[in-house]
Structure 1
Amino acid sequence: MSRYFPNRSFLVLTVLASLTGGLISCSQYSTRPISKGYHNLNAHFNAYIIARDQIDAAEQILFKTRQENYNQLLPILLPVDSMLVLPVKPQLDDAIKKASLVPERHQNSKWVDNSYTLIGRARLLKQDLPNAIEVFKYVNTKGTDENDKHEALVGLMRAYVEAGDYPNALNVAEYLRTQPLNKVNTRTFYLTKAYLHQRKGEYVTAVGILDATFPVLKKGESTARLHLIAGQLYDLIGQPNKAVDQYREVLRARPTYDQSFYANLYAIQSNGLTGDQKRVAQSVATFETMLNDRKNADLKDKIYFTMGLLEARSGRIDQAIRLYSQSIQAAGANTTQVPFTYQEIGRLYFEKKADYPKAKVYYDSALALLPKQSPDYAAAVTRKKTLDEFVEYRNTIRTDDSLLTLAQLEPAALDKVLEGVITKREKEDKEQAALAQQIVERASAGNFNAVAGATNSTLPPNERWVLYNPVALSQGRQEFSVRWGNRQLEDNWRRSSKESSESVAATNSPLNGGSAANGINPNAALPTTNDGRGSVAGPETGRKAQKDALRSQIPFTREAQVQANQRIENALYKLGKLYKFQLNQPADAIPTFEQLLVRYPNTLPKPEVYYLLHLSNEQLGKASNWKDKLLAEYPNTSYARLSGRAVAQSTDSEAQAQRIYTAIYELYKANNLTEALARAENAAGSFSGTQVEDKLALLRVMLIGRLKGVDVYRQVLNEFMRDYPASKLLPRAREMQAAANHPTANIK
């Protein structure tokens, strides 16, 4: 044996030397097969797979824990949110570290591009968009595998969408559209592009792309969700039949219970739009089944809401409001649906019943709960602003009318009215205090269910404690503002010395026989300077103090009466314009303007009022002499010119006007704005009655916006809409007005 030992030792040494040499040669910069194989193995199993699985798991967690708002259009892809990602942030950070090991230690492996893409995905989920974009760009520039580059470009497109950079996202999409994508990249590209068009509001394109993606998707919760979104998109573009088909597909795609529930509800709503009365009739039985299903105990508010929606679409407005109210009562602690229900009730009162005070109350309640990121939020704020103005003007008229009426009463009659006001207020205060005490006693006795019943929306609104009744709270805020104006929270805030003239002007009072402080509470009382329960000196002294405070608001002096009449005159003028333009109610504008002229025949805006009366009657198809009065009494005003602008012009005048307009427009396109505006101002008078008069007027508005800023732009836009109510450019002007009223508007 000993003679073979040296040979064995030599063999072992040779093997060890070979292995050592091989390992030494496994540099990450080496191109030798052994080196590349070694680094591929380590990069794949010790870094890439671990990082990939961590990111996949994080995405699954985010998908499973998502909070869907089924009252709105669901996003095709879950938007990235730095707050929602916090639970999986450590997992993503670790994935980034693992993926970073590949380019750090395994440069010659084939997993470098994939690892960079994983880093980009993780940063995208963390909403670290600038770094995600840079990583995806790097892979596209330095990558060696076309599929990896395409995957990075899809990620880049998604990052641009999340950043709101839609032009760059579209550029990437156009490039990818021409590339031979593999199956996985094709699916991801289609979904990302559909998401891009959805974010841009291009719903027709979005649902078309989404529809083309379904054949390559597997059945499951995520696919059921996409079918639900496709149905919503078809509803939005006015194709309810296709929407119903998509909702049926939800039920075939292994949905969750919530998905199937909302698919059924949405299908019923879409059937109501198709006009298929047979399907609508079947919905009644479906609603009964859904309401009786115990699994839907916390979803009854959605069912009642859908029932109300169908009633509203059928023109049964009162029935719809009743069902919407049931939806609010059934909501309980889950208020997700409630603001949208308030908004629908407000819309019905606004559009169908023209009951603007009630509409205001419901819009107030809706905005108190409506998420600011909701697509409906801006429109609701705009409508609420209009309603706020309406209530303000109407309350000013009624309040000052009441005060002027009270000022004419004999002392004994006035004293009797004030006594009635104070008595009524004390009764209301006692009723609210008794309800509050009842709730406290129930809570003290441990009857928490009874307390919940008294405080939540399960009781009718008039039986709920005011602090748990959103409608009553909104009404209370309105009444406070009318009585006191804007007050800081501080000691002695009710002292009369703190009241400005504006708050005194807005102070409410009852008419002789009852005047509305607002449309909800027709017997709202005047303000007091104490708590309404008597002072320390005794009830009679406290009552006298209240009466003195009420009397101090009445305009007994000549000067105070003049100021009250000025407020009424201004409110009538503004209310008439609000009826005419914002509310589009010429039938209400006419008596308002006529009342203004009767009560204040020398009102300053008399020519404009004549003109608006002429337009309102013309809009209703009624004959009137307001145009003749305007031309006879104020022939040299701009309103007289506007009322007669339809006078025929000669062919030469039309041709000249067209040439001047074209020259000004060319200056505008060349960005020579100052010169263009000067020419537009000079040419305005000579364009009267021509076919391009309104075109030049709108071009002037655009020039002013570019040169003089947003505030002036808003003003001249309003003037254009007032002066050219029949112009074909009015829809364009309304779009410009909506953009100008946006909080971030910047014309320059």
Structure 2
Amino acid sequence: MRRLYTNYVSIYFVTLTAFIGLVLGLAGCSQYSNRSMSKGYHNLTAHYNAYFIAKVKMDEVEKFRFENRKENYNQLLPILLPVDSLEAQPMQAQLDDVIKKASLVAERHQNSKWLDNAYNLIGKVRLYREDFPNAVEVFKYVNTKGTDPDDKHEALILLMQTYTEMGDFPNALNVAEFLRTQPLNTANTKAFYLTKANLHQRKGEYAVAAAILDATFPSLKKGEATARLHLAAGQLYDMANQPAKAADHYQAVLKNRPLYDQAFYANMLLLQSTDPRQAAKANSTFERMLRDRKNEDLKDKIYYTMGLLEARKGQYDRAIALYRISIQETTTNTAQIPYTYLEMGKLYFEKKQQFETARAYYDSALALLPQQSPDFAAIQGRKKTLDDFVKHLTIVRTEDSLQHLAALSPDALEKVLSAAIARQAKEDEAKAELARKVIEKATGQSTSAGMSMPGATNSNLAPDQRWLLYNPNRMAQGKQEFMQRWGNRPLEDNWRRQTKDAPNVIAATSVTSPANNTATTAGGNTANPGLPAELASSFNNGQPSAKARRDAMYASIPFSAEAKNQSNQRLDESLYQLGKIYKFQLNQPKDAVKTFESHAGRFPGSQHRPEVYYLLYLTNEQLGIQTDWRDKLLREFPNTSYARLANKSTRSDQPTTGAEAIATKTYTDIYTLYKSGNYSEALARSENALASFAGTQIEDKLALLRTMLVGHVHGAEKFRQAITEFMRDYPASPLLPYVKELQTTADQTTAKRK
């Protein structure tokens, strides 16, 4: 019994001692302690608890981002996947968990060596959520307070990526320059190269980005990710006009276990390359790929590439035919369509100079092109130019046609209108018959007796046999076709018209006025010769009676002097604008001269006449043709800003000191007249002074004084016009800020009156 008691006491004291030792040991494992035991404990618990879980969740997020990326092979592939907080939405729970678990390391394990890693994970979450300011703060904190050099380097690499995503390239380059001098480990070296290459790619420095990628490839393993980077490197070398290197990288894609899409597009880009080694085998490769059943959904891309090669050879009609086949071969994936439309628009714009057709293709391309495309703004700008061109060209054609109709005898006019109405009625009947056949085919019942089938959804039929309004697939296809042709139009009256308040000013005609010498005969109305096309087609909706159509057509024809005057005003403005578009936007000086000459001959009283003379003088000089337009400008409009510009362009001598003194005295005299309220005399003298003292240091002050006098003598509208002329003629003048203030004040005053 005594022995049992002794053993019990011994066990008790041993247990108590062990417990007390454990308590004392744990008490020494404070997260603020620097003892080896404390740091070892917190390293262990931080790594294999909170940090481990956070890292696993972050790996899941990055795997999701890579596997669910949306590649657009028609554009330059980004080296690093771009940050998009919307695409990260499905992984919000994992991102929240990363922050929660990584924050535990910061809260409970301050002396752990995994603290810097945890902060880097928190910063990456901020980065992926596009919370850039907080991401920058976290990475800077790690760089400042961190203890492990590798973790600090990782933070700086992530900081460089964040700055790049923000578009803050100078700061990103500063970080890159610092990292370039640091001894990086293998993982950080690879990340640094990729991040720096991404930075230069975003800056448009394609050759530099490609060279940095070349230095990265030896450290990468074969696989889908490496194949993707080779594809990006090939595109970069293509952009840098180094086709041989680009071809090498496209071939390297095929050696890195790529996805099928990666291999397919690598082959396409290889064939598009200007490397002469690829040209010989292009045709056989295309034939083989078209026969391959795996490429059934990719035929549109194959025909598109064939079109690119034909366009490069100068075979533009052949290229356009192949582009059309590409569009016809499109299946479920319509991502290729906007780029095909875009290439067709470029050919019609740049090579064939068929601007109306080009405008239609640019319209379709913009309706479907992703707005984040790098060249979206430039395409939008060209589309705006083409819209303006077609608008004014259509006005010129339509007004000329209407005036021609007004000049016809009543019998001849009646014949033209009757023929147009009869033809339109036949077209309406054909459309109604086609609609009836479609309904009969979809419902399986006859509608010839006028029987309708309200409420019939045809749910017992196969989808492709249903009436299209009950078939969601057909509805979606129809919507897409509408967008391709018309763009995103709001649902409103006259939605298909550009000029809503002038329903007849839209289409072309095959009959031109003999007095009109401009190039305005293309695109005529072949269905109803002798009548503007819109007059023949704008009555489809509702199918009005023949009398209603005839009355509407008659109402649009300018029979009276007042109506003809309004028509001429529209012609005057549109011919003037059309000439400027030809000269400045489309770079077609010959068409500009033809249009301006037509304007000068037809509208001798136009307010645009001085500028038209000046532009005719400049454009003919551009073509190397000697004309008398400058002399006519100086003779008929000597006191205009255009006459001064013409004088300045031919004056080679610099004003002397004496001339400067005379100019200054003249300015003082005119200013005295201005202050005394003698505006008319001051304006006349300022006009003469500007012509006499062009090129002097005081010229812009004289021009500003003239602008003020124009406002006093001629009123607000002429004042605003004079301000515009000053800003155009003296863009570098130190007086420009003051003139802009005057313009703002004048605009506000005009707005209040309205």
Deviation at 1:63, TM superposition (A): 0.2
Q: How does 1:37-436 map to 2 (within 5 A)?
A: 37-270=40-273, 273-274=274-275, 276=276, 279-436=278-435
Give the secondary structure class of the aligned counterpart of 1:387: helix
- Indicate the residue corresponding to 1:600 in structure 2: 603
Q: Quick one: structure 1 residues 191 and 642, their matched pair in 2 at CA, closer, same or farther if it must change by over 3 Å?
A: same
2: CA distance, partners of 1:301 / 1:687? 65
Deviation at 1:158, TM superposition (A): 1.3
Counterpart for residue 519 of structure 1: 523
Q: 1:7 to 1:525 in 2, by over 3 A?
A: closer
**One-letter identity of the residue aligned with 1:107:** Q
Q: State the shift of 1:164 in Å.
A: 2.3
Asked if the contact 1:484–1:507 (Cα under 8 Å) also holds between the matched residues in 2, the reply is: yes
> Alpha-carbon deviation of 1:717?
11
Aligned-partner residue type, residue 573 of structure 1:
Y
1:316 deviation in Å? Answer: 0.4
Kindly indicate whether the alpha-carbon contact (under 8 Å) linking 2:614 and 2:642 is maintained by their aligned counterparts in 1.
yes
Q: Quote how far apart the aligned CAs of 1:198 are.
A: 1.6
User: 1:468 pairs with 469, 472, 481, which one?
Assistant: 481
For 2:727 and 2:590, locate their aligned partners in 1 and report how far apart those are by CA, in whole Å.
Answer: 21
Q: 1:562: Cα distance to partner?
A: 0.7
What is the identity, as a one-letter code, of the residue corresponding to 2:523?
G
Is the partner of 2:556 in helix, strand or coil?
Answer: coil
Cα 1:371–1:626 shift into 2, 3 Å = same
**Amino acid across the alignment from 1:415:** E
* Mapping for residues 603-682 of structure 1, pairs under 5 Å: 603-645=606-648, 647=650, 649-650=652-653
1:719: how far off? 4.0
Q: CA deviation at 1:203?
A: 2.0
Per-residue CA distance 1:278-313 (angstroms, 9 max, x = gap) = 631310100111111111111111111110001001
Return the alpha-carbon distance in structure 1 between the equivalents of residues 644 and 283 of structure 2. Answer: 58
Structure 1 or 2, whichever has the larger Rg, is 2
Q: Secondary structure at the match of 1:331?
A: coil
Q: Distance in 2 between matches of 1:479 and 1:105?
A: 64
Q: CA deviation at 1:193?
A: 1.6
The CA deviation string for residues 347-374 of structure 1, in whole angstroms up to 9 with x for no partner, is 1111111111111111111111111111
CA distance in 1, matches of 2:65, 2:693: 62
Range moving further from structure 2, 405-414 or 711-720: 711-720
Specify whether residues 613 and 482 from structure 1 end up closer, same or farther in structure 2 by C-alpha distance, changes over 3 A only: farther
Deviation string for 1:299-336 (max 9, x for gaps)? 11111111000100110000000000111111123210
Aligned residues of 2:368 and 2:484 also touching (Cα < 8 A): no
How many Å separate the matches in 2 of 1:228 and 1:592?
49
Matched, 1:579 2:582: yes
Distance 1:239 1:712 in 2: 51
Distance in 1 (CA, whole Å) between partners of 2:422 and 2:598 is 34
Question: What SS does structure 2 have at the residue aligned with 1:566?
Answer: helix
Show the counterpart of 2:679.
none
Aligned to 2:717: none
RMSD: 3.9
TM-score, normalised via structure 2 length = 0.78
Distance 1:341 1:230 in 2: 24
Q: 1:248: how far off?
A: 1.4
8 Å Cα contact 1:407/1:556 also seen in 2? yes
Q: Structure 1 residues 720 and 166 mapped into 2: Cα distance closer, same or farther (>3 Å)?
A: farther
Amino acid aligned to 1:42 = T
Identity %: 53
Q: Deviations over 1:718-739 (max 9, x none)?
A: 9469x99xxxxxxxxxxxxxxx
Shift of 1:223: 1.3
Does the C-alpha gap of structure 1 residues 138 and 465 become closer, same or farther in structure 2, counting only changes over 3 Å? closer
The answer on whether the counterparts of 2:234 and 2:250 sit within 8 Å (CA) in structure 1 is yes
Q: In 2, Cα distance between the equivalents of 1:361 and 1:263? A: 31
Q: Deviations over 1:647-682 (max 9, x none)?
A: 46458869x99xxxxxxxxxxxxxxxxxxxxxxxxx
Q: CA deviation at 1:5?
A: 5.1
In the alignment, what sits opposite 1:28? 31
Give the letter for the 1:209 counterpart.
I
- For the 8 Å contact 1:73–1:232, the answer to whether it is kept is yes
TM-score, structure 1 length as denominator? 0.79
Asked whether the equivalents of residues 614 and 624 of structure 1 are also in contact (C-alpha less than 8 Å), the reply is yes
Ranges in structure 1 where 5+ consecutive residues have no aligned partner: 488-501, 536-541, 658-682, 698-710, 725-748
Looking at structure 2, the residues matched to 341 and 430 of structure 1 have their Cα atoms a distance apart, in angstroms, of: 35
Q: Using the TM superposition, give the Cα deviation of residue 549 of structure 1 relative to its aligned residue in structure 2, in angstroms.
A: 1.4
After superposition, the C-alpha distances for 1:218-238 in whole angstroms (9 at most, x for unaligned) are: 221111111111111111122
Deviation at 1:516, TM superposition (A): 8.6
| Residues in 2 aligned to 1:130 and 1:346: alpha-carbon distance in whole angstroms | 42
Identify which range, 442-451 or 549-558, moves more after superposition.
442-451
Report deviation, 1:68: 0.4
Distance 1:567 1:530, change over 3 A: closer
Q: Distance in 1 between matches of 2:502 and 2:207?
A: 51
Pairing partner for 2:559 from 556, 561, 571:
556
- Judging changes above 3 Å, is the alpha-carbon distance between structure 1 residues 121 and 209 closer, same or farther for their aligned structure 2 residues? same
Give 1:472 deviation, angstroms. 4.5
Q: Distance in 1 between matches of 2:344 and 2:26?
A: 77
Asked whether the equivalents of residues 300 and 330 of structure 2 are also in contact (C-alpha less than 8 Å), the reply is: yes
- Mapped contact 2:617–2:629 kept (Cα < 8 A): yes
Offset from partner CA, 1:560-601 (integer Å, 9 cap, x none): 111111111111111111111111111111211111122223
CA shift for structure 1 position 81: 1.0
